[in-house]
Amino acid sequence: MLNEFETPQPKLITHILEIINSAILVVNALDRIVFANSKAVMMFKAEEKELVDSPLAEIFMPEDQDMLLHNILKITRSQGEFEGEAMLHRPNGSRFMGLLSASSWQWEQGVGVVITIHDITNLKKIEWELRRSERMVFLGRMLNDISHQIRNPVLTIGGFSRRLAKSDIQKPEHIQAIMDESARLELLLNTLNEFIQLNRPKLEPLPVKYLIENIESHLIGLAEGHGAKWISKISSSLPKERVLADPGIFIRALEAVVTNAFDAYEREDTEKIIEFRVEPVNNGPLACAFCINDRGSGIKASVLPNVFSPFFTTKTGHIGMGLTFAHRIMEEQIGDIAIESSPGAGTSLTLYLSKERRREIRIKKI
């Protein structure tokens, strides 16, 4: 404990800081720890002398010592307070996730900082378990849907097979029904297998122009293969910062959305037009929007909430997994997907990519 706490009034403050049931560090104007209460000593699994008079930077991870710590201290001293999360480092080499609440403290030597720390490692584990349980609930619902989807073709195949077994006369319509339902069952199982085996994306920060150059030619070929006219509208003010994406998986989401756009044209004699737009987004972590627009029949408002659900389709002969694929991919790309549609006015599906995954406070000095 240093000189700042040796006069009667600071001794009272020291006593108060000790009885508070939270880990507290006091940092001087030189960014060195001048006080650590007993809760802080316990949290960092250290002796008091290992914390006091050491640079505050030593409790932060090496990758956060330059940017994140600088920004936390600057925000606290200029705005009076800061609250946020950071991975913290113990003297013994272990680490934990901490919730930091910092306030400025005016001393004769300058502006110091008082930091309250809560170990939220277990809370983060609970959050992860909740996300995992939500995924399991989703898979449970999906299994129910799978059971329903498989039951119909299996019953059809079984019924017509039994009829054929009892008859000496071949029934072409029965054979065709068996073939059709077998093909549907095979398509369903192949789609499920593809969905289950979909790799998690290996995200990397990429220039938007690079992404466009690597995906648009493929999408144009896909459109031409379906007899559609491709209209490209790329914004002249694309974001300069890179976006997070795995091009090989992101393009599969776009393929699913483009295929959905083809299916929106119900009449064969209608000119199929697919409009592809890429534009910047000013919405928190999101940086760029890839939009696929069609001029097809559109979707009723009552149906829109279900379009990303597994096996949901309003068209005969479709499995209804295309937009489910796209939705899952965009979630794992740390992005988003949205749909707008109205009957007779076409549909617009927008895939959003996010900026650098790390918070700005960790990558850019204030």
Question: Phi first, then psi: what are they for 291, rounded to 5°?
Answer: -110, 135
User: Which residues, in sequence order, are CB contacts of 124 under 8 Å at separation 6+?
Assistant: 97
Mean pLDDT, all residues of the chain:
82
Domain containing 228 — which CATH number? Answer: 3.30.565.10
Domain end point (choices 119, 145, 165): 119
26 and 133 fall within a common domain: no
Query: What is the count of structural domains for the chain?
Result: 3
Domain containing 11 — which CATH number? Answer: 3.30.450.20
What is the percent of the chain with per-residue pLDDT over 70, rounded to a whole number?
A: 78
274 and 359 fall within a common domain: yes
The label of the residue with tokens 């409790």 reads 59
Phi-psi region of 335 (alpha: psi -120 to 50; beta: other; left: phi over 0): beta
pLDDT-based confidence at residue 167 (cuts at 50, 70, 90) = low
What Rg do the C-alpha atoms of the chain give, in angstroms?
30
189 and 265 fall within a common domain: no
Task: Please check the confidence at residue 156 and state whether its pLDDT lies above 80.
Answer: no
pLDDT-based confidence at residue 246 (cuts at 50, 70, 90) = very high
10 and 48 fall within a common domain: yes
pLDDT in tens, 182-206: 777 777 777 777 777 778 888 888 9
Mean pLDDT in residue range 227-238: 90
pLDDT in tens, 66-75: 899 999 999 9
Task: For residues 297 and 84, give the distance between their C-alpha atoms in angstroms, rounded to a whole number.
Answer: 47
CB 212 within 8 A of CB 234: yes
134 and 214 fall within a common domain: no
Mean pLDDT in residue range 3-13: 51
305 and 270 fall within a common domain: yes
Which residue range is the domain that position 344 belongs to? Answer: 201-366
The label of the residue with tokens 């956060």 reads 64
The DSSP H or E segment spanning 327 is: helix 322-332
43 and 13 fall within a common domain: yes
Task: For residues 237 and 231, give the distance between their C-alpha atoms in angstroms, rounded to a whole number.
Answer: 18
135 and 107 fall within a common domain: no
CB atoms within 10 A of CB 107: 12
Count CA atoms closer than 13 A to 236's CA, side-chain side: 0
Task: Please check the confidence at residue 136 and state whether its pLDDT lies above 60.
Answer: no
Domain end point (choices 119, 143, 161): 119
Mean pLDDT in residue range 5-27: 67
User: Which residues, in sequence order, are CB contacts of 10 under 8 Å at separation 6+?
Assistant: 4
Question: Phi first, then psi: what are they for 341, rounded to 5°?
Answer: -165, 155
Q: Residue 353 forms beta bridges with which residues?
A: 288
Structure confidence at residue 3 (pLDDT): 43
Structure confidence at residue 230 (pLDDT): 94
Structure confidence at residue 144 (pLDDT): 64
29 and 156 fall within a common domain: no
245 and 353 fall within a common domain: yes
Angle between helices 121-165 and 172-196 (to 10 degrees): 170
Structure confidence at residue 258 (pLDDT): 92
163 and 100 fall within a common domain: no
Task: For residues 365 and 242, give the distance between their C-alpha atoms in angstroms, rounded to a whole number.
Answer: 18
Please give the model's pTM, rounded to 2 decimal places. Answer: 0.60
Task: Please check the confidence at residue 254 and state whether its pLDDT lies above 60.
Answer: yes
For residue 305, the SS3 value is: helix
CB 67 within 8 A of CB 76: no
Domain containing 172 — which CATH number? Answer: 1.10.287.130
CB 76 within 8 A of CB 103: yes
Question: Phi first, then psi: what are they for 143, rounded to 5°?
Answer: -65, -40
Q: What are the structure tokens assigned to 327, written together? A: 């939705």
Domain end point (choices 95, 119, 143): 119
Q: Residue 75 forms beta bridges with which residues?
A: none
Higher confidence at residue 261 or residue 179?
261
Measure CA of the first residue to CA of the last residue in the chain; give whole Å. 31
Mean pLDDT in residue range 132-137: 62
268 and 306 fall within a common domain: yes
Nearest to 73 by CA among 39, 124, 28: 28
Structure confidence at residue 309 (pLDDT): 85
